[in-house]
């Protein structure tokens, strides 16, 4: 459905996107995950035809977007990072304008707007000026805009940014719903969000795809049990003593404990080892009350650290 | 294109821009009419028409300053450029909206002509000629404003530079009369022109090769012209400036003459500026 080959974008000397290639099949919901400035928005801007690539090509169903831009653009709905809204128009006027530039046939415009309003839940602000809407509503009007042309591909750049938790859940549900009959590419810098909506994740860093695949596999790969957080109802010395006998531990670091009268330490062991069982029995044998034992989840930052230090290995 | 035009046209009247333009234009032209014709008991309408030409300097920047600069600032250009419409449709749509507002305002001043016709003798052919000339000149000025609004970062710089571009055209006749005509200064002028174009290419493509190629081709052209058509260098500055002397060409309209040559000049001037605007927007996507 979407095929990107060796996409490169250079801003002067700065390399924003560096030879990115991927394919997205029909009906897939793909998340671009990456820190700010990783090249997510630039890639999306090229996919939608807003920017041109310095090098490389984008095909939508084997049609190069540069060769038949009008035909391809009709099939893509795009919600950019900043929703492209005209503050002086009402929601109704705005959506009507969008329908017209998306070449929606005149007799279908009213139905299309009606459906869009219900889908994204903005019926109640239908006649208000876009400029007076809250951030959450604006984001939703932006989303309605992307749906107006009845596209089969949706490109959503940080669709939940700036929303409150309730709205985030609503938008996520909506996107998941849209994913059933659209091909969706969305971007985010929040790991759990992508986790919720997308099956497939592309981690982008410094303009390159650092990892592409199933999210569960990616996190499992990275979060091995070599980092364990241990919480004990004891002072630091007793905790360290209890850990002393366990074979394979390389380092013990004191952490800030969330609980009173408890010590929390981060235990590092040899790579790909799992010392949790040994830790539990060590504490039991020394009668130090162990109240918590968990594998430290890799945060997005850590995933990036790991990925960027091992880009060569991943790329192969 | 019609969608773009309609939206833009409505925006003029949903925001202060349209009212400020029309209000200012009609207020000042009303002053000119009142003091020049009514209070002087004069039916010499042509002098009034000449004097409101001056208003264009201030009014056109107000009309065109937002057109493309604001789209970029509000990021709504992302909507337009990712929609299945061409850049030409966007630019022409916007131009037509500004021209429409301009034309409506201009038509209101026909009331003044009617007043003169009722209470005095109206020089009909001169007046009709002048209005046709006004519309054409307005179109050319607006196309300059459209181009500048595509380059400018925001409305203020857009208005500012449009004003100075128009001011330059306004003073062009003066510049022309003092500019030297000898071949040497003409050559220097041609060289400066080539350098300017080369710098423009470099700024737009960020490639030394493109800029350098333009400079080399230009230099060769200058030398070749010297060898084979040296007469072109006599009065070259005047001839180049003539392309931009929009106001001078207006004179014949004021006399009631509508000459095809002048009409074609204004229309092609407008078309060229709009075309350059389209190219600039398309080019920026590659930058």
CATH of the domain at A268: 3.30.70.260
**Residue A311 banded pLDDT, cuts 50, 70, 90:** very low
Q: Choose among B4, B7, B76: nearest Cβ to A84.
A: B76
A230/A116 same-domain check: no
Residue A216 lies in a domain: yes
A107/A242 same-domain check: no
A278/A217 same-domain check: no
Q: Is A11 on the interface with B (CB under 8 A)?
A: yes
The residue of chain B nearest to residue A81, with distances taken between CA atoms, is B75
B75/B126 same-domain check: yes
To test the contact with chain A by mutation, choose from B9, B68, B78 the residue with the greatest count of A C-beta atoms within 10 A, namely: B78
- The answer to whether the CB atoms of A12 and B206 lie below 8 A apart is yes
A36/A184 same-domain check: yes
Residue A314 lies in a domain: no
Q: Which of residues 57-116 of A touch B (CB under 8 A)?
A: 69-71, 73-74, 76, 78, 80-82, 84-89, 93, 97-98, 100-103
Residue B255 lies in a domain: yes
Q: Supply the pLDDT for residue A263.
A: 87
* Number of alpha carbons in the 13 Å side-chain half-sphere of residue A219: 17
Top pLDDT among A300 and B193 is at B193
Residue A304 lies in a domain: no
A114/A198 same-domain check: yes
Q: Say whether pLDDT at A312 is over 50.
A: no
pLDDT digits (tens, 9 = 90+) for A70-85: 888 999 999 999 999 9
- The answer to whether the CB atoms of A86 and B76 lie below 8 A apart is yes
Residue B214 lies in a domain: yes
Q: Is B283 on the interface with A (CB under 8 A)?
A: no
B136/B47 same-domain check: yes
Contact B37, B116 (CB under 8 A): yes
A98/A194 same-domain check: yes
Query: Number of Cβ pairs closer than 8 Å across A and B?
Result: 76
State pTM to two decimals: 0.82
A56/A183 same-domain check: yes
Q: Which of A221, A256, A275 is the last residue of a domain?
A: A221
A175/A56 same-domain check: yes
Residue B102 lies in a domain: yes
Counted residue by residue, chain B has a size of 287
- The answer to whether the CB atoms of B15 and A78 lie below 8 A apart is no
B230/B249 same-domain check: no
B90/B223 same-domain check: no
- The answer to whether the CB atoms of A102 and B83 lie below 8 A apart is yes
Residue B128 lies in a domain: yes
Domain that holds residue B259: 2-175+244-284
**Residue A219 banded pLDDT, cuts 50, 70, 90:** low
A265/A214 same-domain check: no
Q: Say whether pLDDT at A44 is over 80.
A: yes
Residue B64 lies in a domain: yes
Least confident of A151-155, A271-275, B159-163: A271-275
Residue A269 lies in a domain: yes
B138/B219 same-domain check: no
Least confident of A79-93, A225-239, B141-155: A225-239
Neighboring chain A residues of B83 at a CB cutoff of 8 Å: 73, 98, 101-102, 149
Count of domains in chain B?
2
Q: Is B74 on the interface with A (CB under 8 A)?
A: yes
Least confident of A132-146, A159-173, B5-19: A159-173
Cα A41 from Cα A189, distance rounded (Å):
11
B142/B88 same-domain check: yes
- The answer to whether the CB atoms of A85 and B76 lie below 8 A apart is yes
Count of domains in chain A?
2
B56-64 vs B155-170: helix crossing angle, rounded to 10:
150
Residue B239 lies in a domain: no
Q: Supply the pLDDT for residue A295.
A: 80
For residue B140, give how far its alpha carbon lies from the nearest alpha carbon of chain A (Å): 27
Domain that holds residue A18: 2-221
Residue B127 lies in a domain: yes
Q: Is B86 on the interface with A (CB under 8 A)?
A: yes
**Residue A192 banded pLDDT, cuts 50, 70, 90:** confident
The residue of chain B nearest to residue A13, with distances taken between CA atoms, is B206
Q: Which residues of A17-32 are buried (b: 16+ CB within 10 A; e: fewer)?
A: bbebebebeeebbbbb
The average confidence (pLDDT) of chain A is 85
For residue A75, give how far its alpha carbon lies from the nearest alpha carbon of chain B (Å): 9
CATH label of the domain that carries residue A151: 3.40.50.300
B71/B200 same-domain check: no
Contact A156, A194 (CB under 8 A): no
Residue A242 lies in a domain: yes
Q: Choose among A52, A88, A93: nearest Cβ to B285.
A: A52
Tell me the average pLDDT across A282-300.
Answer: 81
Q: Supply the pLDDT for residue B147.
A: 95
- The answer to whether the CB atoms of A86 and B287 lie below 8 A apart is no
Q: Say whether pLDDT at A315 is over 50.
A: no
Q: Choose among A80, A100, A101: nearest Cβ to B75.
A: A80
Q: Choose among A76, A85, A86: nearest Cβ to B82.
A: A76
Place of tokens 């052919």: B125
Top pLDDT among B74 and A192 is at B74
Top pLDDT among A311 and B230 is at B230
B70/B200 same-domain check: no
Alpha carbon of residue B129 to chain centroid: 19
The interface predicted TM-score of the complex, written ipTM, equals: 0.82
Question: Residue A265 phi/psi, 5° resolution?
Answer: -130, 150
B119/B211 same-domain check: no
B108/B228 same-domain check: no
Neighboring chain B residues of A85 at a CB cutoff of 8 Å: 74, 76
A216/A175 same-domain check: yes
Q: Which of A154, A188, A221 is the last residue of a domain?
A: A221
The residue of chain B nearest to residue A149, with distances taken between CA atoms, is B83
Among B230, B266, B227, CA closest to B250: B266
Residue A303 lies in a domain: no
Contact B219, B171 (CB under 8 A): no
User: Which residues lie below 8 Å from residue A206, measured CB to CB, with a gap of 6+?
Assistant: A18, A38, A39, A308
A260/A212 same-domain check: no
Place of tokens 């003593």: A241
A98/A236 same-domain check: no
Counted residue by residue, chain A has a size of 316
B110/B202 same-domain check: no
Instruction: Output the tens digit of pLDDT for each of chain B's 287 residues.
Output: 889 999 999 999 888 888 988 998 899 888 888 888 888 877 777 777 777 778 888 889 999 998 999 999 999 999 999 999 999 999 999 999 999 999 999 899 888 888 888 888 888 888 888 888 889 999 999 999 999 999 888 899 999 999 999 988 888 777 777 777 777 778 888 888 888 888 877 776 667 787 888 888 888 888 888 777 777 777 777 777 777 777 777 778 877 788 888 899 999 999 999 999 999 898 888 76
Residue B44 lies in a domain: yes
Least confident of A17-21, A90-94, A187-191, A306-310: A306-310
B68/B86 same-domain check: yes
């Amino acid at each position: 459905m979407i095929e990107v080959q060796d996409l490169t974008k250079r801003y002067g000397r700065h390399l924003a996107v560096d030879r990115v290639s991927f394919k997205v099949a029909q009906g897939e919901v793909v998340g671009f995950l990456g820190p700010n400035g990783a090249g997510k928005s630039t890639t999306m801007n090229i996919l939608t035809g807003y920017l041109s690539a310095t090098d490389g090509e984008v095909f939508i169903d084997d049609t190069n977007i540069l060769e038949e831009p009008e035909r391809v653009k009709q099939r893509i709905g795009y919600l950019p990072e900043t929703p492209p809204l005209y503050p002086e128009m009402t929601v109704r006027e705005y959506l009507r304008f969008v329908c017209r530039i998306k070449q929606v046939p005149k007799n279908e415009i009213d139905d299309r707007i009606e459906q869009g309003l219900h889908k994204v839940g903005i019926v109640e602000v239908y006649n208000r000026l876009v400029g007076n809407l809250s951030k959450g509503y604006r984001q939703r009007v932006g989303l309605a805009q992307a749906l107006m042309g009845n596209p089969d591909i949706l490109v959503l750049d940080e669709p939940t940014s700036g929303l409150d938790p309730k709205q985030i859940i609503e938008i996520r549900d909506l996107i998941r719903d849209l994913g059933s009959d659209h091909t969706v590419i969305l971007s985010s810098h929040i790991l759990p969000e992508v986790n919720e909506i997308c099956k497939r994740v592309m981690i982008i860093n410094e303009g390159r795809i650092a990892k592409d695949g199933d999210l569960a596999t990616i996190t499992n790969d990275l979060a091995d049990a070599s980092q364990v957080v241990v919480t004990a109802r004891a002072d630091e010395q007793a905790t360290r003593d209890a850990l002393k006998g366990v074979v394979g531990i390389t380092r013990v670091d004191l952490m800030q404990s969330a609980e009173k009268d408890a010590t929390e330490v981060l235990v590092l062991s040899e790579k790909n080892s799992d010392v949790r069982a040994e830790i539990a029995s060590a504490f039991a044998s020394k009668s130090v009350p162990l109240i918590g034992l968990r594998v430290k989840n890799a945060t997005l930052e850590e995933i990036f650290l790991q990925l960027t230090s091992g880009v060569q290995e991943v790329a192969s | 294109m019609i969608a773009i035009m309609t939206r833009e046209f409505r925006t003029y009247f949903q925001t202060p821009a349209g009212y400020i333009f029309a209000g200012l234009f009609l207020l000042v032209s009303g002053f000119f009419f009142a003091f020049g014709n009514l209070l002087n008991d004069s039916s010499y309408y042509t002098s009034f028409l000449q004097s409101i030409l001056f208003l264009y300097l201030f009014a056109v920047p107000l009309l065109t300053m937002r057109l493309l600069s604001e789209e970029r600032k509000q990021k709504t250009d992302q909507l337009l450029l990712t929609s299945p419409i061409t850049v030409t449709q966007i630019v022409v749509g916007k131009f037509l909206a500004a021209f429409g507002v301009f034309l409506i305002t201009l038509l209101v001043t026909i009331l003044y002509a009617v007043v003169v016709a009722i209470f005095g003798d109206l020089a009909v052919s001169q007046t009709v000629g002048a209005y046709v000339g006004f519309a054409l000149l307005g179109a050319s000025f607006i196309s300059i404003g459209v181009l500048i609004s595509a380059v400018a970062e925001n409305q203020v710089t857009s208005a500012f530079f449009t004003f100075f571009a128009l001011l330059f055209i306004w003073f062009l006749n003066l510049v022309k009369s003092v500019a030297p005509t000898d071949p040497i200064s003409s050559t220097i002028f041609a060289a400066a022109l080539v350098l300017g174009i080369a710098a423009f290419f470099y700024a737009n493509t960020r490639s030394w090769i493109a800029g350098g190629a333009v400079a080399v081709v230009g230099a060769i052209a200058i030398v070749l012209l010297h060898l084979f058509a040296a007469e072109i260098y006599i009065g070259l500055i005047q001839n180049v400036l003539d392309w931009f002397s929009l106001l001078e060409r207006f004179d014949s309209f004021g006399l009631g003459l509508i000459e095809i040559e002048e009409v074609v000049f204004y229309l092609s001037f407008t078309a060229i500026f709009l075309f350059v605007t389209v190219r600039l927007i398309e080019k920026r996507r590659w930058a």
